[in-house]
Amino acid sequence: MTDNKQILISVVLPTCNVESFIGECIDSILCQTVQADEILVIDDCSTDKTVSIVESFQNEKIILVKNDEKRGLIHSLNLGFSMAKGKYIARVDGDDINHKSRFEKQLKVLLDNNEIKACGSWLACFGASEKVIKHLEYHDDIKSQLLLNCSMSLGCVMLEKEAYSDFKFNDLMLHVEDYDFWAQSIFRNKVYNIQEVLYYYRIHEKQVSTKFKRTQLKNDFSIRLILFKKLKYCSTTYSDEFIDKMLNSKKEITKIEVQKYFEWLRELLHLNDSIKCFEVNSFRKVIHVLRNNLIYSIFFQGDRGENSRLFRFRIFLLLQASEQFNLVLKKTSKFVMIFFKTSKYKSRNFEL
């Protein structure tokens, strides 16, 4: 094994029953243009051939740690982070694949920018669905985006171990441990996302994000709420239950509740302008999204208020003039699209 002083990159790779994918995953680590010095495979009592496949590589860089009993992903992550000897930790999941230049490009960012403590990238999803997840690039935008969702993917991150030594993965945040990890650390450590795909995220029915969606959504909201409360708004006036109802549920809402929600958003803007918990312009974009999401659900999904024109008209009167104009424009565009799709003249009379 390489002398501890020379260890630069440690890979932390938790596994559990990923026999179909682990070989391809490890191959993508071993073929990196900049090599890791150690690969810590933390296996959580796999009952398939995962362990034997890992052992078949017979590579001295691979250190296989087998849990004596099933302890879960969070335990494996905390164990792997504590065991890692490298200055930098590269996270990988056992069912995913790394681009061959991932480590090289992330390491360069960290070495060239001392203030950046974690470097991620875009992800390309493959398998059951295909899309590219384009995370925001700069720290201030990533930080504000956490108020909406997890804007930093832990599986494709390389981070400086010492900078994150005080942060642990929380057992209470099951299935959203990565989101919680960033929410804890974002106010101390600067992060960055390379604007290209360096990680291939496999979508399949056995993965945690598919099997435990409801738990994820519940814990997601608890993390968002913690972040919102850093602005110290009046939690008596705007209760957790009220915010949950407006942000997450599909329950019927009233005009009074919509007014109150808009007042909450305005208060958040005012508070952040004062204490600058989040970068002002990035935060304003988040508030804009939150406001527009509710407007869209009322006028285009019809699943939030009374199913009546009167309710929507009352909400329309609450909107700013620019919002009213955009709403009318979108509604008109939608009507025109429907007309062209259904018109018997669409194929002949409207050709250009």
Query: pLDDT of 284-332, one tens digit each?
Result: 999 999 999 999 988 888 767 666 888 889 999 999 999 998 888 887 7
- Per-domain residue ranges for the chain? 8-211, 231-319
Q: Which range, 2-16, 18-32, 297-311, is most confident? A: 18-32
pLDDT at 340 over 80: no
The residues that bridge with 10 in the sheet, in sequence order, are 38, 89
Residue 208's Cα: distance from chain center in Å?
14
- pLDDT computed for residue 162 by the predictor: 98
What are the E-state strand segments in 131-184? 131-133, 158-160
* CA 58, 64, 68, 70 torsion-angle sign: negative
CA atoms within 13 A on the CB side of 128: 8
Residue 349: pLDDT above 60? no
**C-alpha R_g of the chain:** 24
Least confident interval from 21-25, 152-156, 308-312: 308-312
Structure confidence at residue 343 (pLDDT): 45
**Chain mean pLDDT for the chain:** 90
Q: Identify the band that residue 347 occupies on the pLDDT scale cut at 50, 70 and 90.
A: very low
pLDDT of res. 303: 64
User: pTM for the complete prediction?
Assistant: 0.89
Mean pLDDT, rounded, for 238-255? 92
Mind listing the pLDDT tens digit for each residue in 99-144? Answer: 999 999 999 999 999 999 999 999 999 998 899 999 999 999 999 9
What pLDDT was estimated at residue 190? 98
- Looking at per-residue pLDDT, the higher value among 30 and 340 belongs to 30
- Token pair belonging to 53: 């496949």
| Predicted local confidence at residue 204, as pLDDT | 79
- Tell me what the mean pLDDT of segment 31-53 comes to: 98
- Residue 287 CB burial class (10 angstroms; 0-12, 13-18, ≥19): middle
pLDDT of residue 44: 97
Cβ-contact 95, 21 below 8 angstroms: yes
For the chain, what percent of residues have pLDDT higher than 90? 77
Residues 6 or more apart in contact with residue 309 via CB below 8 angstroms? none
Angle at 79 between CA 176 and CA 84, to 5 degrees: 110
Residue 113 to residue 264: CA distance in whole angstroms: 38
Average pLDDT of the segment spanning 322-346: 65
Q: Is the pLDDT at 176 greater than 70, yes or no? A: yes
Q: Domain 8-211: give its CATH architecture.
A: Alpha-Beta Complex (3.90)
* Type of residue found at 261: Y
pLDDT confidence band for 218 (50 / 70 / 90):
confident
Pairing of strands 116-127, 38-43: unpaired
Q: In this predicted structure, what is the pLDDT of residue 306?
A: 61
Tell me: pLDDT of 2 over 80: no
Position 205 scores a pLDDT of 72
pLDDT at 86 over 60: yes
Per-residue tokens: 68: 């004596």
